[in-house]
Structure 1
Amino acid sequence: MMEFVHVAIVVFSLLSLGQSAPVTNCESLTKPIKINGTDQLLGRWNYVGWSTNMVLGSIVALFAEPGWLHITATDQHDLLITSDYLKMFDTCETMISNMTLKNNTFITGNKSTVSLLTTTCPDCLVQYSTGPGSERHLEFLSRRTAVTDAELEEFKKQVECLNLRKSKILDPKRELCPVQSATD
């Protein structure tokens, strides 16, 4: 009987090794998703967290407060208008820019490229931006103002996989900027 128990333990141990691992490896977490139209991107997105490889961006992150992004369609099927409503030092600013979709990547006015990365969060966007020089940023946005701990951990793992600086997670309880007139 004891021999049967040992065999059963060995078999169950081997079976557990054969199970597929959760989707947390860097290859899957940093894979751009296919963008099938822009309709699902339209509307309001709340900033949850972000990270960068730039020293100045890390300093700015110390003072950043919650913000949100509004994406609007245009008459041109590949052009979107983004309005960022950001707060720093209790002052709200609005920045408006254009993004053009080309080959599954968005091109911004400052020639940065933006790809959307895989996420298990059903109402989230993870935007990976590469800019002039070696500038890189990762932004985590959601339709909600707060996300689950598991969703935050997945984002932090993406930051780690992309070798970016420690992520800044924004406080979902802080007041967001209202809609206001745009500034450049």
Structure 2
Amino acid sequence: MKSLSKAVMSAVAAAVLLLCFVSVSCSVPLACENLLWPLGQPDLHGLEGRRAMIAGSLSHLPLMEPLRRRDSATAEFSSNSGESGISFRRSSRSGDNCHYASYNVTLKGNSFTFKNDNVTTTFVHTSCHDCILLKFDVESEQRQHFYLFSKRRQLEEMEIEEFRAQAQCLNLPPPVVMDPTKDLCPEQHSTNPAAQTENKAETKND
């Protein structure tokens, strides 16, 4: 009887273990699907404003080191015409040097394109209330850039952990988290063509 009892217990344990493995294997894709839920077309009023980069990751590993050396970066949206026309401004600071870029883009659902349509930018869901999460797909070099921006300089750890999990779901390296004590570039609102063209190093990095 004891041997039969042991055999039954072993069978039950094996069944439970198998059920756990099946449960985990089924839940991981579902979790990533939920984490990478794309937004619908963003509300322009909620989108407007300047936000600092909180963290970022890139699929092209050689570009991770320049990202780590960056002091700060910003993204800013403002409406310019109609319900879908917006201005998209970016800045990046390394030491005392600031680089700016400005683009007029048109929202198409949850995305827009720029740089001669070589870059498609998608808004991804985030639970952070004052954040925007952007996924840049660079078609010409087949790489992804994934950046989290917020109106706060520092987020709660659970908000950072969500971004880390999202980057992992995209098979990206562990994100670089920006130093919130570093200065941002001064705001620059200009339609000067010089302000609309990033320098070569910046273009390669973003």
Q: Fold-level match, TM-score > 0.5?
A: yes
2:158 aligned counterpart, secondary structure = helix
1:127 aligns with 2:134: yes
Inter-partner Cα distance in structure 2 for 1:55 and 1:105:
25
> What is the deviation of 1:57?
2.1
Structure richer in helix, relative to its length:
2
1:97 pairs with one of 90, 103, 123: 103
Shift of residue 62 of structure 1? 2.3
CA 1:159–1:41: 2 relative to 1, 3 Å: same
Report the AA paired with residue 179 of structure 1: E
Aligned mate of 1:151, from 153, 159, 162: 159
Distance 1:105 1:153, change over 3 A: same
Match of 1:166 in 2: 174
Aligned AA (2:167)? V
| 1:18 aligned residue | none
Question: Unpaired runs of 5+ in structure 1?
Answer: 1-20
Cα distance in structure 2, aligned partners of 1:50 and 1:110: 23
2:115 is equivalent to residue 109 of structure 1: yes
State whether structure 2 residue 145 is matched by structure 1 residue 137: yes
Candidates 164, 167, 175, aligned match of 2:183: 175
Contact preservation (8 Å) 1:99, 1:109: no
- Answering whether residue 66 of structure 2 is matched by residue 80 of structure 1, we say no
The amino acid across from 1:115 in the alignment is T
What is the one-letter code of the residue matched to 1:108?
F
Q: State the distance in 1 between where 2:180 and 2:42 align.
A: 30
How far apart are the structure 2 equivalents of 1:108 and 1:76? 18
Q: Is the 8 A contact 1:47 1:66 kept in 2?
A: yes
Letter in 2 for 1:136: Q
Q: Is contact 1:93-1:183 (8 Å) kept? A: no
| Contact 2:73-2:93 at 8 Å conserved across structures | yes
Gaps of 5+ in 2: 1-26, 198-206
Q: Identity of counterpart residues, as a percentage?
A: 26
Stretch moving more, 150-159 or 165-174: 165-174
Inter-CA distance 56–76: structure 2 relative to 1 (3 Å threshold): farther
Distance in 1 between residues matched to 2:60 and 2:85, nearest whole Å:
28
Q: Deviations over 1:101-133 (max 9, x none)?
A: 113322223422111112111111111121214
Q: Does 1:31 align with 2:37?
A: yes
Distance 1:36 1:177, change over 3 A: closer
More off after superposition, 103-112 vs 88-97: 103-112
**Distance of 2:108 and 2:102 partners within structure 1:** 20
CA radius of gyration, larger in: 2
Letter of the 2:102 counterpart: I
Q: Under a length normalisation based on structure 2, what TM-score does the superposition of the two structures give?
A: 0.72
TM-score with structure 1 length normalisation? 0.80
Aligned partner of 1:42 in structure 2 is 48
Q: Which residue of 2 aligns with 1:16?
A: none
